[in-house]
Amino acid sequence: MSSDAQAVDVCAFWVGGAVYGIDVARVEEILPRVVPLPVGDAPPHVEGVVHVQGAAVPIVDLRRLLPAGTPPRTAKPKVILARLGRRRVGLRIDGMAGVRRYTVAEIRPAGAVPGVLAITADECRLLDLRELLADRPANRRRGL
Amino acid sequence: MSGDPSSLEALLARFRYRPDEESAGLTELPAASLEPDRPRGVDEVQLLTFGLGEGEYAVALGTVTEILRARTLTEIPRARPPLLGVLNLRGTITPVYDPSLRLGLSVSAPPCAGPDCARPPRAARILVVRTALGPAGLWVDRVRGVHRVRPGVLERPRGGPTGGVLGVLPTAEGSCTVVDPEWLLR
């Protein structure tokens, strides 16, 4: 296997008191200021939709889906416009933590933490976005 | 916990982005389709967004026949706001109006008619719109682009006389007011 295939590029960000990561290839844009339009019948973690290049994109508040905590004082809240299959979703986060590259050896499986696939050596939790955002009763409960 | 590499590989496969990954079963929102590259539907409207002062506005793209770089207009003696002046558009005398007055913005009309006026700002544009009385121009500070939206996405003003305001379009930067161009000229 080539060294490129073993490397994992992660877009890392703060939510609560922990650093989480998603694949950089998912990240389309980082939006500094987003005012979503609320929609009816949305689960509590969905703030609403915004228009990005003609398509309505839901904004999901990750702070309502992940454990609470206090982010560092320097963190600036942002929205990550992320790809999910053929869709896009906006993820509300507490602050960016940069783009990091890990080797497979630095990553270990997370065990039974919902929505988290693996944890890196420096405690960046790699998220399973599809699992985290799936429409399930558990999400609705956790959302409140 | 070291974990066996095959299962870690499977976890990383879920972590990595694939354009064809299954996203069914995700939270569905009633307001709009989430597909960025869905087929363009017949029910979509195209809105041309433009800026005036601090605000963002939009008109239906179909009413706009042309977008011109702003140029010095020919002054009309004793022209009253919102009329700024006239423009010779390939032989058709086209009146140009300042929409900011109608929109209640405090910006005074830029002096852009007559021989001794300042050069128009680089970003300023004139939207030529079709009206019942022939073409007319709207002087705007900048043109942003075209939004394709489904009509249901527009927030309609509720209650009371709305004048020419047709709705409010939420955008990534905030919101943008959709107006009737003919109303801006009156």
**Per-residue three-class SS string for B95-124:** EEECHHHHCCCCCCCCCCECCCCCCCCCCC
Per-chain mean pLDDT for chain A: 83
In a domain, B68, yes or no: yes
Q: Determine whether the interchain pair B17/A37 forms a contact, defined as Cβ–Cβ distance below 8 Å.
A: no
In a domain, B5, yes or no: no
Q: Which own/partner pairs from A111-115 qualify as long-range (CB within 8 Å, at least 24 positions apart)?
A: A111/B1, A114/A138, A115/A65, A115/A66
Number of separate domains in chain A:
1
In a domain, B19, yes or no: no
User: Taking the model in full, what pTM does it have?
Assistant: 0.51
In a domain, B35, yes or no: no
B152 lies in which domain range?
A: 47-185
Nearest to residue B50, comparing CAs of B62, B39, B59? B59
In a domain, B39, yes or no: no
Quote the pLDDT of residue A36: 86
Where is average pLDDT lowest: A53-67, B24-38, B54-68? B24-38
Q: How far apart are CA A24 and CA B153, in angstroms?
A: 30
- What is the band of A48 on the pLDDT scale with cuts at 50, 70, 90? confident
Residue A92's CATH number? 2.40.50.180
Residue B111's CATH number? 2.40.50.180
B43 vs B141, higher pLDDT: B141
Q: Determine whether the interchain pair B5/A51 forms a contact, defined as Cβ–Cβ distance below 8 Å.
A: no
In a domain, B157, yes or no: yes
B 4-23 residues inside an 8 A Cβ radius of A = 5, 7-9, 11-12, 14-23
Q: How far is B63 from chain A (nearest CA, A)?
A: 19
Identify the H or E element spanning B184: helix B181-185
B146: left (phi over 0), alpha (psi -120 to 50) or beta: beta
Please, what is the Cα angle at A84 between A81 and A86, to 5 degrees? 105
A42 lies in which domain range?
A: 3-143
Buried b (16+ CB within 10 A) or exposed e, B146-172: ebebbeebbeeeeeeeeebbbbbbbbb
Q: How far is A3 from chain B (nearest CA, A)?
A: 14
Q: Determine whether the interchain pair A55/B171 forms a contact, defined as Cβ–Cβ distance below 8 Å.
A: no
Contacts of B30 in chain A (CB under 8 A): 39-42
- ipTM confidence score: 0.80
> CA separation (Å) from B72 to A47, A102, B3, B111, B126?
46, 59, 72, 9, 11
For residue B8, the number of C-alpha atoms closer than 13 Å in the C-beta half-sphere is: 18
Chain B CA closest to residue A6: B9
Number of separate domains in chain B:
1
* DSSP output for A93-142: ESEEEEEEEEEGGGEEE--S-TTEEEEETT-EEEE-HHHHHB--HHHHHH
Upstream peptide bond of B39 is cis (omega within 30 degrees of 0): no
Nearest to residue A57, comparing CAs of B166, B151, B156, B27? B27
Evaluate if residue B152 carries a pLDDT over 60: yes
Q: How far apart are CA A35 and CA A16, in angstroms?
A: 21
Contacts of A40 in chain B (CB under 8 A): 30
User: Which residue is it, tokens 């080797």?
Assistant: A103
Quote the pLDDT of residue B118: 77
Q: How far is A41 from chain B (nearest CA, A)?
A: 8
Quote the pLDDT of residue B37: 42
Q: What are B93-108's pLDDT values in tens digits?
A: 899 988 887 787 766 5
In a domain, B20, yes or no: no
* Residue to substitute from A10, A51, A116, interface B, most B β-carbons within 10 A: A51
In a domain, B21, yes or no: no
A116 vs B3, higher pLDDT: A116
